[in-house]
A and B are shown apart, each in its own frame.
Chain A
């Protein structure tokens, strides 16, 4: 006695989907909708989330949800927002939840158009750093030296040659009121950011690091741990920008080497196998150090 009885949270993303065990994205989406509540219409471009959440006849979505195409999530959402405005349904909010392929690559033009128009949409990118529902091909969000099926590591290659596109910065350059990064491993932080974003009108953007056990290659009970290591080593900085200014930063406890994050993942296995790996690891560590410096993650 004394302890409050367990209260089941009202969920709007429930069972009935087909995500892999331990999918960080499915977890993130459940918490996104806990934060928004049910007065939302969700647009999801083609991608892992769409594929696993909409087998015809089954739906985990307890809010109105639409999938249209791969590259038009932002503009479909603009249409939904315009219709709601025309119908004077001011309390209903619009959400896009799309993967990194649709956000960083194929839908980038539509996203930029939506941001520039300041349409009243919260755009959330659930970012697993590659095209997962087609088997793990490289995207503009794929991190440096990750091995993907279209840019695999091999005798003559260390995998992806470029750094991840800095989308939060590009999005922020549109002058929108709220930009944030979050992680499936920090769910309370994630919910608070979504809640904060919902207090704004106009275009807002949140990018969530969602570990993918299947393609990153780690055991499916390690999702939270892998996500946490990504944040703690500095490769996944968590911050909020309001009105163009960095407002909050999630500090890291102590600097841990990037190896502890990369080593448990199959997509980085080649970095630990041969000689070239140490130089690659040095470059990745430099990226983490740069983040630690730039965002002041440590102090």
Chain B
């Protein structure tokens, strides 16, 4: 165990995965990750081509090009940087390029701010990139190692983004158990894609396709996601065996067995929610939580397994689809529609721009659930947690 900064732990994980190409463009709070990697390259500890690009757009393009040439590739970004990568990420998923990105969660302008929420990574949810959210520094370290294995699985072959909350995880110090290089090498074999830009076997990539075949390409990406769920479960199980830490499943169910009320969350807030669950349980509330670890592909089967006995669900969405609701709330409602005994589900927008979600906020959410639970909630949704009404005349 060593006590390290979250960004350093991520860099250590990446180094151990032996990427051949790393590209970097600065944006807070992602910077410490690529700075750590730069130092490793400078010190000769990491044998990788480190490309210092002129924009995030190019950072994503460089890893795409490297991946298409058959090299393991990595980059990291955040907020506006991820948005600037958006076009590249869509195209890379369409071309089935399996690189790994750390999406360090940070809100999106305007107003400009460097604080955390999930608006940035959620904006990429439809692109075809696999999204894994982590709760702790340890989980960030472990998940990055699994991420390459998931991305490069021949049945999946899609980019993977590990989403970790900015500052809260990247800049905090936690004790982390590192794996040995040999263990990681055994877990993650070298990247040897079947198809790549190869002068001995020339192929054309990124062709033009019309209505005769485009839909089939999109279907193939969707199917890779859907079928990929089982592979991701298996890879997480292997990771559990390797680390001795519990990574079973695409979701983590916490005290849900007999729960009447379940809170669903993603990322670092999950720790706070678990503590609140313990507190509230000791006061007699039958409450539990579900942490979504893999958000795309959307693991509804796994969530349903955990929530089907509950009467009501509160979703904490650290993002908002303007003019509608939070992304996770929408996803779940769509899936629950028409299911027999579907629990009541209420969507809460919480923690935008770093607004604190503490135990008190969670108690308020529970109270709101008590009131909305008595009448149809959907008329006023979503509910904004901790909004300051004095700013609105």
Determine whether the beta carbon of B70 is less than 8 Å from that of A83. Answer: yes
Determine whether the beta carbon of B61 is less than 8 Å from that of A83. Answer: no
Known contacts A66-B65, A76-B61, A78-B62, A83 near B207 by CB under 8 Å: no
A241 interface contact, C-beta 8 A: no
Known contacts A64-B197, A64-B198, A79 near B63 by CB under 8 Å: yes
Determine whether the beta carbon of A82 is less than 8 Å from that of B66. Answer: yes
A51 interface contact, C-beta 8 A: yes
Q: Beta-carbon contacts of A35-79 to B below 8 Å, as 1s and 0s?
A: 000111101000000110011110101111111110110111111
A175 interface contact, C-beta 8 A: no
Determine whether the beta carbon of B49 is less than 8 Å from that of A86. Answer: yes
CA distance A166 to B70 in the complex (A): 37
B95 interface contact, C-beta 8 A: yes
Known contacts A66-B197, A69-B87, A92-B199, A112 near B54 by CB under 8 Å: yes
Known contacts A67-B206, A113-B58, A84 near B65 by CB under 8 Å: no
A299 interface contact, C-beta 8 A: no
A256 interface contact, C-beta 8 A: no
CA distance A79 to B19 in the complex (A): 13
CA distance A207 to B284 in the complex (A): 75
Determine whether the beta carbon of A110 is less than 8 Å from that of B49. Answer: no
A77: chain B residues at CB < 8 Å are 65
Determine whether the beta carbon of B68 is less than 8 Å from that of A80. Answer: yes
B57: chain A residues at CB < 8 Å are 71-72, 75, 109-110
* Residue on B nearest A43 in the bound complex, by CB: B65
CA distance A87 to B20 in the complex (A): 8
A51: chain B residues at CB < 8 Å are 208
Interface centre among B20, B23, B57 (most CB of A within 10 A): B57
A116 interface contact, C-beta 8 A: yes
CA distance A76 to B92 in the complex (A): 11
B280: chain A residues at CB < 8 Å are none
Choice from B23, B52, B204 contacting A61 with Cβ under 8 Å = B204
* Residue on A nearest B205 in the bound complex, by CB: A66
Determine whether the beta carbon of A59 is less than 8 Å from that of B69. Answer: no
Interface residues on chain B, number (Cβ under 8 Å):
45
CA distance A78 to B48 in the complex (A): 14
Known contacts A75-B61, A86-B48, A113 near B55 by CB under 8 Å: yes
Chain A, range 93-116, C-beta contacts under 8 Å to B: 109-110, 112-113, 116
Determine whether the beta carbon of A68 is less than 8 Å from that of B54. Answer: no
A85 interface contact, C-beta 8 A: yes
Determine whether the beta carbon of B68 is less than 8 Å from that of A66. Answer: yes
Determine whether the beta carbon of B88 is less than 8 Å from that of A86. Answer: no
Determine whether the beta carbon of B55 is less than 8 Å from that of A78. Answer: no
B91 interface contact, C-beta 8 A: yes
B65: chain A residues at CB < 8 Å are 43, 66, 68, 75-80, 82-83
B53: chain A residues at CB < 8 Å are 75, 78, 113, 117
Interface centre among A51, A55, A77 (most CB of B within 10 A): A55
Known contacts A75-B57, A113-B55, A41 near B69 by CB under 8 Å: yes
**Distance between B184 CB and nearest chain A CB, rounded to angstroms:** 19
Known contacts A86-B21, A110-B57, A79 near B62 by CB under 8 Å: yes
B70: chain A residues at CB < 8 Å are 83, 87
Beyond contacts A68-B64, A83-B20: 20 other A-B pairs, Cβ-Cβ < 8 A, are A38-B202, A41-B69, A41-B199, A51-B208, A55-B209, A64-B198, A64-B199, A64-B205, A68-B92, A68-B95, A72-B61, A75-B59, A76-B62, A79-B21, A82-B65, A83-B49, A86-B66, A87-B69, A110-B54, A113-B58
B residues with CB within 8 A of A: 20-21, 23, 48-49, 51-55, 57-59, 61-71, 73, 87-88, 91-92, 95, 197-199, 201-210, 212-213
A-B contact pairs, 26 of them (CB 8 A): A51-B208, A54-B206, A55-B207, A56-B207, A57-B207, A63-B202, A64-B197, A64-B204, A67-B208, A69-B91, A75-B59, A76-B61, A76-B62, A78-B58, A78-B61, A79-B21, A79-B62, A79-B66, A80-B69, A82-B65, A82-B71, A83-B49, A87-B20, A87-B71, A117-B51, A117-B53
Listed from nearest, the 3 A-B pairs whose CB atoms lie closest are A79-B65, A113-B54, A75-B58
A residues with CB within 8 A of B: 38-41, 43, 50-51, 54-57, 59, 61-69, 71-72, 74-80, 82-87, 92, 109-110, 112-113, 116-117, 119
